């Protein structure tokens, strides 16, 4: 026992001697949740707060965050299935009771999730680098994502004690789908498109209202005498115009007079035109906004790559339209040996490891790899994995040829680096130096 205590004290006095060993152990999934990769020791309270903030960060690519998001998605799906089972009256009562218990359990977990997020509001905000107008760290609970998280679970939690029936509080589980909004850029892009294209959209909606109202009035005048029990008022005629304009046609109201059928045909054609026009405006705006967002992101990432540090704005603009940003979690396979080489990669942030003999080689920010395969047409000659969360820019073979035509000076540098690597021994085939710093 005394020997064990003495060894423990010695280890505490020399923590850095065991750093590498514990860091390797920390890569395993089970111990990864217990040890801090920074120093290999069990997390203190502040360390656990940092771990929870990282895990709850909607943009984090860490192992914990990815596992937590998968568990969250599974719980949402299980809860929605339980909600559906509770409304099926033909099932046995025990089955419905089990579904009710499952739904309550999922609700409790989501309430705990919301409580933890509220308690750690400052930590989550700091981790996500949210800034308020006064320059200080903002609170997560005051953001749109925080409001969605709370509103997705709060109504059901409030109504559950008072109205837990198949047609009551359990139906509010459908609000849990809002939890996925925080991970999607589509909603933000769509709102931006609607704001920017509001004038054309309002014009299409005005045309829609004119066709709808005109069709309802003409349909009522044409059918009110022939079908007084069907077209009883302008309100019922509006219902017919809506179903006709959207080409739904439930069949509950059908014009029988020649004029009524002509009006119905004109309303259907007008509906197809207005809906197609609205869809075209939104689709074009969505594609343009997505392209603009990716361009700005690529520009920002390219500016961090030392290979392009001497390139002018015109060159970066040309390259930004060709490169595609990709995020990889730690220990992810980027390429495999023997695969066709259809693209090359530039490292923006993070680190990759080239698995070659006799020892692996690591590349950091500013370096690039994969150029040999697209230049020679040969399969990949090594497997590449990430050692940490890594941001890469990919350039596929078609865009590489386009870049060679528009910016030959850049592709010449890539070719020289590839020739240098091919001319080296197999053990040094991939250099760890930054090609952007070579003369």
Q: Is 390 helix (H, G, I), strand (E, B) or coil?
A: strand
Pick the closest to residue 310 from 404, 391, 410 (CA basis). 410
Distance CA 226, CA 274 (A): 30
Cα–Cα distances in Å, from 334 out to 306, 307, 330, 342, 347? Answer: 21, 20, 11, 12, 12
Query: How far apart (Å, rounded) are the C-alpha atoms in residues 56 and 36?
Result: 17
- The residue among 312 and 176 whose pLDDT is bigger is 176
Q: Give the DSSP H or E segment for 240.
A: helix 234-245
Could you tell me if 297 and 326 are in contact, meaning their C-beta atoms sit under 8 angstroms apart?
Answer: no
For residues 147, 149, 151, 155, the Cα torsion angle rounded to the nearest 10 degrees is -160
- In whole angstroms, give the CA distance from residue 287 to residue 283: 6
Is the model's pLDDT at 134 over the cut of 70? no
Phi, psi of 6, deg, nearest 5 = -60, -40
Per-residue model confidence as pLDDT tens digits over 105-127: 999 999 998 888 888 777 766 65
| Alpha-carbon span 291 to 240, nearest angstrom | 40
- pLDDT at 79 exceeding the cut of 90: yes
Average pLDDT score over residue span 162-171 = 90
Quick one: average pLDDT of 184-206? 85
Q: Which CATH architecture has domain 198-293?
A: Orthogonal Bundle (1.10)
Domain extents in the chain: 2-42, 63-183, 198-293, 313-437
Range from 14-18, 86-90, 336-340 carrying the lowest mean pLDDT: 14-18
pLDDT, tens digit, for every residue of 217-252?
999 999 999 999 989 999 999 999 999 988 787 878
- Residue 251: the pLDDT is 79
Highest mean pLDDT among 279-293, 297-311, 365-379: 279-293
On whether the 313-437 domain is CATH 3.40.50.970, my answer is: no
Q: Could you tell me if 365 and 349 are in contact, meaning their C-beta atoms sit under 8 angstroms apart? A: yes
The conformation of residue 393, written as its DSSP 8-state character, comes to E
Residue 430 pLDDT exceeds 80: no
- Does residue 418 contact residue 350 with C-beta atoms inside 8 Å? no
Residue 300 confidence (pLDDT): 74
Tokens of 140: 């997560």
Tokens 């990716």 appear where? 294
Q: Which range among 9-18, 236-245, 417-426 shows the weakest confidence by mean pLDDT?
A: 9-18
User: Is the pLDDT confidence value at 10 over 60?
Assistant: no
288's CB contacts (< 8 A; 6+ apart) are none
What percentage of the chain reaches a pLDDT higher than 90? 26
- The CATH label, of 3.30.1300.10, 1.20.120.540, 3.40.50.2300, 3.60.10.10, for the domain at 63-183 is 1.20.120.540
User: Is the per-residue pLDDT at 325 higher than 60?
Assistant: yes
DSSP helix/strand/coil, 339:
coil
131 has pLDDT over 50: no
Q: What 3 state SS string does 253-290 have?
A: CCCCCHHHHHHHHHHHHHHHHHHHHHHHHHHHHHHHHH
User: How does 12-21 read in b/e, with b if 16+ C-beta sit within 10 Å?
Assistant: eeeeeeeeee
């Amino acid at each position: 026992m005394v020997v064990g205590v003495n060894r423990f004290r010695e280890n505490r006095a020399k923590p850095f001697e065991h750093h590498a060993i514990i860091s390797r152990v920390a890569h395993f999934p089970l111990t990864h949740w217990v040890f801090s990769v920074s120093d290999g020791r069990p997390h203190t309270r502040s360390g656990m707060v940092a771990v929870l903030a990282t895990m709850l960060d909607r943009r984090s690519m860490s192992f914990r965050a990815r596992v937590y998001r998968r568990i969250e998605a599974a719980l949402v799906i299980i809860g929605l299935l339980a909600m559906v089972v509770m409304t099926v009256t033909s099932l046995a009562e025990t089955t419905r009771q089990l579904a009710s218990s499952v739904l309550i359990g999922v609700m409790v977990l989501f309430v705990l999730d919301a409580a933890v997020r509220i308690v750690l509001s400052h930590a989550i905000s700091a981790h996500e680098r949210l800034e308020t107008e006064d320059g200080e760290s903002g609170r997560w609970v005051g953001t749109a994502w925080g409001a969605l998280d709370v509103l997705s679970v709060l109504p059901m939690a409030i109504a559950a004690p008072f109205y837990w029936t198949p047609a009551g509080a359990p139906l509010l589980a459908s609000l849990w789908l809002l939890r996925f909004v925080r991970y999607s850029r589509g909603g933000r892009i769509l709102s931006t498109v609607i704001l920017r294209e509001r004038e054309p959209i309002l014009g299409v909606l005005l045309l829609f209202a004119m066709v709808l109202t005109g069709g309802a009035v003409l349909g009522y005048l044409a059918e009110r005498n022939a079908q007084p029990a069907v077209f009883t008022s302008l309100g019922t005629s509006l219902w017919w115009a809506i179903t006709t304009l959207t080409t739904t046609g439930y069949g509950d109201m059908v014009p029988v007079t020649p004029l009524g059928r002509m009006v119905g045909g004109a309303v259907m054609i007008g509906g197809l035109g207005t809906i197609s026009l609205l869809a075209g405006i939104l689709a074009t705006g969505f594609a343009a906004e997505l392209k603009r967002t990716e361009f700005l992101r690529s520009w920002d990432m390219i500016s961090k790559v030392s290979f392009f540090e001497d390139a002018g704005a015109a060159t970066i603009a040309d390259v930004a339209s060709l490169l595609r940003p990709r995020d990889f979690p730690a220990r992810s396979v980027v390429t495999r040996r023997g695969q066709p080489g259809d693209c090359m990669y530039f490292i923006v942030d993070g680190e990759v490891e080239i698995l070659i003999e006799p020892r692996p080689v690591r590349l950091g920010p500013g370096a690039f790899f994969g150029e040999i395969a697209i230049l020679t047409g040969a399969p990949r000659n090594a497997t590449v994995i990430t050692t940490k969360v890594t941001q890469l820019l990919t350039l596929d073979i078609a865009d590489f040829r386009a870049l060679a035509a528009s910016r030959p000076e850049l592709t010449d540098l890539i070719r020289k680096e590839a020739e240098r690597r091919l001319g080296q021994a197999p053990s040094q085939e991939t250099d760890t130096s930054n090609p952007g710093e070579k003369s």
